[in-house]
Amino acid sequence: MKLLKKLKIAFGMLKNAKLRSWLTIIGIVIAVASVTMILSFGEGINNEVQNKLGSSGIGIYSLTAGYSWSEEQIPQNTKITYQDYEFLQDVKFIDKVSREISMYSKANYFGEEYDLSVKGVDLENFEIFNEITITDGRILNEDDNGVILLSKDYINESFPEDFKPTIGDYIEFGSKQLLIVGIYDSNDFLGFSFTNGYVSFQDVKELKEEIAELEENYEEYDEYGNLKSDVYDSIMIKFNNLYSTKDAKEKLTKQLDKFRDSNPDSQNYNLGGKEDALGFINKIVDVVTWVLVGFASISIVVGSVGVANTMYTSVIEKTKEIGIMKAIGAKDSDIEHIFLLNSGLLGLAGGVIGVAIGLFFAIIAGIAIIYFSKIEGISLWSLISFKIIFGSLLFSILIGMVSGYFPAKNAAAQDPVVALRGE
C-alpha cells in the first residue's frame, strides 16, 4: 500500500472521530504550549543577554578585593593597591590598565543638596573601559581636571523637571566645583549602574585625602601598611591578542596568586569579566528553564496517555475495517503504519496549536517584563526561535506516534477472520 493511500486513510480516521480527536488534541496542545513557552522564553533571555554584551567588553576584566584567611585564621590584606597597579602594567599580555575609585557624598547645585555617587577613573583609557553613549556635550579628555560627566538617568530621577543640570553648569562636590561637560546614557549590559557620574581619578583621590585628613587620629597608613591614598576600588584590565581571553585569564590568575601570596582555593582577590557574568547568567537561566520543563513534562505524560487511549478505542471501533483491509491483501505493516500516521497527525495538530499558544504567552510574558522592569532595548523577536518551533512540532509528532505505537501493533496483530467474525 502506498504512503499517500495510508495517509489518506489515517486522515479520514481523524476526521470521522472529531470530538474524540479534539479532546485528545487538547491534551497535546497543553503539553506542547507549556514546553514551547518555557523554552522560547529561556532562549530569548539568553539571546538578549548575548546581544547586550555583543563584542563589547570582550577581553576586559576587573581586579577587585577578595577575602582570605591565613592558616592561623587571621584576615589577610585583600585590598587593591598601587603595587598591584604597577605589577599589572608590566604583564606582557595586558594591553591597558585603569584605576577606579568611587565616592559618595552630597552635591550642591544652586543651593540645593542631592545625593551623588561618582567614579574616578584614569582618563587616558576612559572610552576603552567605560561603555557609555554621550547624549549631550563631550567625553572626558585625558587632561581634564575639575569636570564631570553626569548620567541622564540620574538627572531625570534626582532633579525637578524645571531645575535640571545642563552643559556648562557647575555642581559642588566636596571642596571641588565640577564643570558639567557631558551627559551620558549607560550601556551596561545588565541594565543598571550605581554610578551617577564620572570624574578624573585624581579629583576623587584628592577629595578622599581631604576628608581623611579631617578625621581625628588620622593615620596615613592602614593596618596592613598600605598608604590609604593608594588603595583602589578596582583596577580594570584589557588583555592584548597574545593569548585567548581564557588562557590570558588563567595565566594572570597564576601570576596574581604568586604576587599577592594568595591561596588558589581561597583567593584574596577577584578577577572577573563580562564573559564570566554572561556564562553565569546563562547557566542560571538554563537550570530554571529545564526545571520548569520538568514540571511541564507532567502535561506531556497526560497528553501521551490521552493519545494512547484514543488509539486503543479507534482500534476497537475499526475492527471490521481492519479485517476487510487484511482480507483484500493489506499487510500487517500497512495496518500498523495507518494507525501510527493517525496518531502522528493527532500530535501534529496539537503541536501546531500548542506552538502558536506557547509563543503567544511567551511574548505576553516578555511584554510584561519589559513594562514592569522598564528595561529598554529588549527585542520580542528574540523569543521566536525557528529551532524551537521546528523542535516542538517534531516533538508533538513523536508524542503522538510513540503513544500510538502499541495500539498500532495491536491493530496489526488482528486476525482478519476473527476481526470479521467479531464484528
77 and 23, same domain (yes or no)? no
| Residue 40 included in any domain | yes
Q: How far apart are CA 135 and CA 305, in angstroms?
A: 60
Closest alpha carbon to 239 in 254, 231, 250, 226: 250
| Residue 246 included in any domain | yes
| Residue where one domain finishes, among candidates 238, 267, 296 | 267
130 and 87, same domain (yes or no)? yes
Ramachandran quadrant class, 331 (left: phi over 0; alpha: psi -120 to 50; beta: rest)? beta
| Residue 326 included in any domain | yes
Q: The whole model's pTM is what? A: 0.63
Q: How many domains does the chain have?
A: 2
Q: How far apart are CA 184 and CA 137, in angstroms?
A: 9
238 and 334, same domain (yes or no)? no
Q: H/E element holding 235? A: strand 234-239
Q: Residue for cell digits 585569564?
A: 249
| Residue 274 included in any domain | no
Q: What pLDDT is recorded for position 404?
A: 79
- The three cell numbers locating residue 121: 577613573
**Burial environment of residue 263 by CB neighbours within 10 A (0 to 12, 13 to 18, 19 or more):** middle
260 and 313, same domain (yes or no)? no
Asked whether 145 and 230 are in contact (CB, 8 A), the reply is no
Dihedral angle of Cα 318, 324, 326, 330, to the nearest 10 degrees: -90
| Residue 60 included in any domain | no
SS3 119: strand
212 and 301, same domain (yes or no)? no
- The three cell numbers locating residue 329: 491483501
177 and 151, same domain (yes or no)? yes
165 and 298, same domain (yes or no)? no
- Residues contacting residue 185 through CB under 8 Å, at least 6 positions apart: 132, 133, 135, 151, 152, 153
Closest alpha carbon to 202 in 147, 150, 151: 147
- The three cell numbers locating residue 111: 543651593
Q: How far apart are CA 361 and CA 38, in angstroms?
A: 9
Closest alpha carbon to 179 in 192, 189, 170: 170
Which residues lie across from 173 on neighbouring strands?
A: 107, 176
| Residue where one domain finishes, among candidates 214, 247, 267 | 267
Q: H/E element holding 132? A: strand 132-137
Q: What pLDDT is recorded for position 318?
A: 67
Q: At what angle do helices 332-373 and 18-53 cross, to 10 degrees?
A: 50
Alpha helices in 148-244 (DSSP H): 152-158, 201-213
382 and 408, same domain (yes or no)? yes
171 and 83, same domain (yes or no)? yes
| Residue 210 included in any domain | yes
Q: H/E element holding 319? A: helix 319-327
100 and 240, same domain (yes or no)? yes
- pLDDT tens for the chain, 423 residues long, are 677 777 777 667 666 666 666 777 787 888 888 888 887 777 777 666 666 655 555 678 999 988 655 555 445 678 899 999 999 999 999 999 999 999 999 999 999 999 999 999 999 989 888 888 899 999 999 889 999 999 999 999 999 988 999 999 999 998 899 999 999 987 665 545 678 999 999 999 999 888 877 776 777 777 767 777 788 999 999 999 888 888 999 999 999 999 988 877 778 899 988 777 666 777 777 787 777 777 777 777 777 777 777 777 776 666 667 677 766 777 878 888 887 888 888 888 888 888 888 888 888 877 776 666 555 555 666 667 777 888 888 888 887 888 877 877 777 776 665 555 554
Asked whether 180 and 165 are in contact (CB, 8 A), the reply is yes
Closest alpha carbon to 5 in 255, 337, 351: 337
| Residue 62 included in any domain | no
Q: What pLDDT is recorded for position 228?
A: 75
- Residues contacting residue 229 through CB under 8 Å, at least 6 positions apart: 205, 208, 209, 212, 220
41 and 136, same domain (yes or no)? no
Full domain range(s) for residue 153: 67-267
